[in-house]
C-alpha cells in the first residue's frame, strides 16, 4: 500500500478521518472523500501525505480543516464545496495550489488578504456562499487568477480597487448579487463576464473597458446596446439582371390569371417559394454577435462577441 497513488472513498458513510488513516500512504497523489458524512478530521490525519496533489472533500459536514492540511506543499487541487465552512481556510502553506473550490459553504467575509502566497492559483470558486462585500484586499496575491466565480452570494458592495490585483483574469461570474456598481480596473483581459440577475446594477461600463470580451450575460437588455457594432453590415454583391421583352400571342395569354397570385397558380410552390426567400436573405454576411433574451436575434458583424440578457422590467 505504500506505493498507492490514487484512493477513492467517495459515497460511503464515513463520519471522521482519524490520525492514523493514511499513515503509510506517503506516495498518495489523489484522495477522494466526497459525498460522505465527515464532520471531523483529526489534526495529523494528512501529515504524511507529502505527495498529495488532489484532495476532494466536497459534500461533507466539515466546519473547518485541520492544520496539517494547510501544509500540503504539493497540493494543486482542493475541493471543499458543499460543506459548512464559515470562513476561508488558511492555505498559505499550499504554495502550489492551482484550483480552490469553496462553493456552497457559509463563508461571509473575504477580509484580510486570505489568499496571500497562493501565487499560482488560476481557479477560485466561491459561489453560493454568504459573502456581502468584496474589500480592496480580497484577492491580494492572485495575480495569475484566470477564473473567479462569485455567483449567488449577497454582494452589495464591490470596492473600486477589488480587481486591481488581477493580470490574467479571463472569466468573471458575479451573477445573482445586489451590487450597484461594477469596477473595471484589472478586468481589461476578460473574455467572459456574467452579471445577470442583479436588479441594482442599473448602469454598465462602456465597451472600451473590456477590449477582449467575447461573451456577456447581463441583467438588463439596454446594457447590451453599447456593445452592438457601429459599422453597418456590407450588403452582398448584386447579380446583374438582364431584361427581356415578351409579346405573347392570343393563344399564349390567359386573362383569368390577371388577378391571381403566384401561389394561386402553383400552390405547391408556397413553401419552397418562401424557403427560397429566406435562403436568399441568408446571403447577408452572418453575425458573430448574438443577442439572446431580447425580443429577437440581431445580426451584425463584430469581433466574436456573444451577449445574452436576463432582462428585468424597469
Which of 32, 95, 102 has its CA nearest to residue 65? 102
Burial of residue 188 (CB within 10 Å: 0-12, 13-18, 19+) is middle
Domain limits, CATH 3.80.10.10, in the chain: 1-97, 108-229+283-294
pLDDT digits (tens, 9 = 90+) for 58-86: 999 999 998 888 889 999 999 999 999 99
CATH architecture of 1-97: Alpha-Beta Horseshoe (3.80)
The pLDDT of residue 237 is 79
pLDDT digits (tens, 9 = 90+) for 260-304: 554 454 455 444 444 443 443 444 443 333 333 333 333 333 444
DSSP string for 217-259: EESSGGGGGGGS-SSPPPPPPPPP---------GGG--GGGTT
- Fold (topology level) of 108-229+283-294: 3.80.10
The pLDDT of residue 272 is 45
Sign of CA dihedral 9, 64, 88, 180: positive
The pLDDT of residue 219 is 86
Extract the C-alpha cell encoding 23.
Answer: 499513515
CA–CA distance from 287 to each of 190, 211, 234, 310 (Å)? Answer: 21, 19, 12, 21
The pLDDT of residue 282 is 43
Note whether 112 and 87 are within 8 A (CB). Answer: no
Extract the C-alpha cell encoding 42.
Answer: 483529526
- Provide the whole-model pTM: 0.74
Cβ neighbours of 70 (radius 10 Å): 15
Average pLDDT for consecutive 10-residue bins of the chain (314 residues)?
Answer: 89 95 93 97 92 98 90 95 96 95 98 94 98 97 97 98 96 97 96 95 92 90 71 68 65 56 49 42 38 34 47 45
The pLDDT of residue 250 is 63
Amino acid at each position: 500500500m505504500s506505493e498507492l497513488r490514487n484512493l477513492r472513498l467517495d459515497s460511503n458513510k464515513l463520519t471522521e478521518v482519524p490520525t492514523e488513516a493514511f499513515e503509510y500512504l506517503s506516495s498518495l497523489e489523489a484522495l477522494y472523500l466526497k459525498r460522505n458524512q465527515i464532520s471531523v478530521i483529526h489534526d495529523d490525519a494528512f501529515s504524511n501525505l507529502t505527495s498529495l496533489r488532489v484532495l476532494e472533500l466536497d459534500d461533507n459536514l466539515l466546519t473547518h480543516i485541520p492544520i496539517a492540511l494547510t501544509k500540503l506543499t504539493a497540493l494543486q487541487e482542493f475541493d471543499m464545496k458543499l460543506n459548512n465552512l464559515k470562513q476561508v481556510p488558511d492555505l498559505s502553506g499550499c504554495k502550489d495550489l492551482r484550483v480552490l473550490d469553496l462553493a456552497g459553504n457559509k463563508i461571509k467575509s473575504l477580509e484580510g488578504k486570505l489568499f496571500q502566497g497562493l501565487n499560482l492559483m488560476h481557479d477560485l470558486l466561491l459561489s453560493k456562499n454568504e459573502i456581502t462585500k468584496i474589500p480592496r484586499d480580497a484577492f491580494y496575491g492572485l495575480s495569475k487568477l484566470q477564473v473567479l466565480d462569485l455567483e449567488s452570494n449577497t454582494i452589495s458592495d464591490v470596492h473600486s480597487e477589488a480587481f486591481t490585483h488581477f493580470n490574467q483574469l479571463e472569466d468573471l461570474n458575479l451573477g445573482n448579487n445586489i451590487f450597484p456598481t461594477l469596477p473595471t480596473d484589472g478586468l481589461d483581459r476578460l473574455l467572459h463576464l456574467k452579471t445577470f440577475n442583479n436588479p441594482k446594477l442599473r448602469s454598465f461600463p462602456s465597451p472600451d473597458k473590456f477590449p477582449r470580451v467575447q461573451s456577456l450575460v447581463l441583467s438588463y437588455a439596454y446594457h447590451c446596446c453599447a456593445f452592438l457594432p457601429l459599422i453597418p453590415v456590407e450588403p452582398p454583391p448584386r447579380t446583374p439582371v438582364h431584361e427581356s421583352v415578351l409579346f405573347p400571342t392570343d393563344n399564349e395569354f390567359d386573362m383569368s390569371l390577371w388577378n391571381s397570385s403566384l401561389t394561386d397558380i402553383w400552390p405547391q410552390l408556397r413553401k419552397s417559394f418562401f424557403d427560397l426567400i429566406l435562403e436568399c436573405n441568408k446571403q447577408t454576411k452572418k453575425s458573430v454577435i448574438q443577442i439572446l433574451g431580447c425580443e429577437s436575434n440581431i445580426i451584425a458583424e463584430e469581433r466574436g462577441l456573444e451577449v445574452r440578457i436576463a432582462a428585468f422590467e424597469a
